Chain A
Amino acid sequence: MATLKDILRQIGAVKKTKQITRAMNMVAASKLRGAQSKMESFEPYASKFVEVLGNLASGIEKDIHPLLIKKENVSRIELLHFSGDRGLCGSFNTNLIARAEKWIKERQANGLQCSMTTVGKKGRDYFKKRDINMVESHVNLYGNVDISFINTMTSSFIARYMADEVDEVYMMYSRFISMARQEPTLVKLIPIEPPTAGDGEGKSAAADYLYEPGPAELLIELLPKNISVQILNAFLQNETSEHAARMAAMDNASKNCSELIESLTLAYNKARQAAITAELMDIVGGAEALKKA
């Protein structure tokens, strides 16, 4: 049986753990606010971009640019995979990695060659040891992504697509739905499937624009940008999701610590009471014995 001292030591340890998880919870909360506001300020840019691209693409033949044309024989695909740089965020990284691995296994079973570009330490560490060709891996990027870095990523994808090194590019990241829900999401990056302008009204509006240079040239200019916009969106969403997941995980951990402390304190008090009772019995027993003598 655990002695009083043992229990006391355990309580101390759990309390320290709780302090750490509480602190991590608060750090995640403040980082989450930052990431979320970044995500929100990107929103107007992204939605305007998609709107314009949709308008533009609706009036144009699909075969003006290789980025828009589906290749007939798809044998090599690439996955741009996002994961966190750090752990202790519940099932966030595990979910992303498991989804990606399952997806790749399915593709490989169909005879496709898969390669990967990873963002985030956790994904890199996991897939490094697997039988997958890792093209590039980026770590420690979250929090200070800038558009010029993303543009270089985009142009490397496009260059490899044009050089026939890869036939399709996909991207997997964790979409931020709410504080309690983040979902691994798969998006096709290349070839581009342009967003379609929703209703007939949008199409007639597209018709009476003046274009400078012509609509086709403009679309070609905007296509690589479209990829960058999507990648940047993935970055921001993934970052926000990670902080939200960590916050929830650390909140849970702190709660568990409190419960543990409570039950340990109960055990401690019981043991203390038992010790006192035993001592009293001893004294009373001793006194009785003396009286008789």
Chain B
Amino acid sequence: MEKLHLEVVTPANIMVSQDVDIVVAPGSIGEFGVLKSHARFLSGIVPGELRYTADNKTEYLSVTSGFAEISDDRVSILVDAAEKAEEIDIDRAKRAMERASERLAKDRGAADIDFLRAEVALKRAMMRIKVAQKVK
């Protein structure tokens, strides 16, 4: 299979930089896959699961929001944070999920920033758990 180059860049580091066969990413209006010779493409990325396959091995990443640029067989994914599935601490994610759902249950209806933050935290924790379980 012909390869394309994938780069996952966060403000802290370059998470992934390698040649892969296929990339599947969570776009703003739905998941999209990229193979070689893809058209030039720019999409928002929403928190979710990013996966790519290289040499018949599929890797999973949990990503937060950002955007993706595809041009000339290079996929650049810029997100606030990304984590490889095998590096996710499931226990921590579970604790974060419990904390967030407790907070949500306590002051439901109070549409303030804390509420929104708890909601975002809950989503993030659930996503991380989901992604982490892929490699188990």
Contact A208 B80 (CB under 8 A): no
Among the stretches A44-52, A74-82, A267-275, A282-290, the one at the interface with B is A44-52
B81 within 8 A of A: yes
A229 to chain B: closest CB distance in Å?
8
Among the stretches A125-133, A172-180, A211-219, the one at the interface with B is A211-219
1/0 contact trace for B1-26 toward A, CB 8 Å? 00000000111111000000000000
**With A48-B76, A209-B42, A210-B40 in contact, is A222–B67 under 8 Å at CB?**
yes
**With A147-B80, A212-B28 in contact, is A221–B13 under 8 Å at CB?**
no
Q: Per a CB cutoff under 8 Å, which of B39, B42, B43, B78 touches A45?
A: B78
Residues of B within 8 A of A229 (CB): 11
Total count of chain A residues near the partner, CB < 8 A: 30
Dominant SS among interface residues on chain B? strand
Residues of B within 8 A of A49 (CB): 78
A145 to chain B: closest CB distance in Å?
9
Interface size bracket, B side:
20 to 34
A3 within 8 A of B: no
Dominant SS among interface residues on chain A? helix
Residues of A within 8 A of B14 (CB): 41, 44
Q: Per a CB cutoff under 8 Å, which of B12, B39, B81, B113 touches A41?
A: B12
A136-186 CB contacts (< 8 Å) to partner B: 147-148, 151-152
A23 to chain B: closest CB distance in Å?
29
Of B11, B29, B66, chain A has the most CB atoms within 10 Å of the CB of B11
Contact A212 B27 (CB under 8 A): yes
Residues of A within 8 A of B78 (CB): 45, 48-49, 52
Q: Per a CB cutoff under 8 Å, which of A41, A208, A215, A222 touches B13?
A: A41
Contact B11 A147 (CB under 8 A): yes
Contact A210 B42 (CB under 8 A): yes
Residues of A within 8 A of B29 (CB): 212-213
A218-238 CB contacts (< 8 Å) to partner B: 218, 221-222, 225, 229, 232
Residues of A within 8 A of B81 (CB): 147
B27 to chain A: closest CB distance in Å?
6
A residues apposed to B, CB below 8 Å: 38, 41-42, 44-46, 48-49, 52, 55-56, 147-148, 151-152, 205, 208-213, 215, 217-218, 221-222, 225, 229, 232
Nearest first, the 8 A-B pairs at minimum CB distance are A212-B43, A147-B80, A209-B40, A210-B41, A45-B9, A209-B42, A41-B13, A45-B11
8 sample A-B contacts, Cβ–Cβ < 8 Å, listed by A number: A41-B14, A45-B10, A48-B9, A147-B11, A212-B27, A212-B44, A213-B29, A221-B28
Seed contacts A209-B71, A212-B41, A221-B44; 20 additional CB < 8 Å A-B pairs: A38-B12, A41-B12, A41-B14, A42-B11, A45-B9, A45-B10, A48-B9, A48-B69, A48-B78, A49-B78, A52-B67, A52-B78, A208-B40, A209-B40, A211-B41, A211-B43, A212-B29, A212-B32, A212-B44, A213-B28
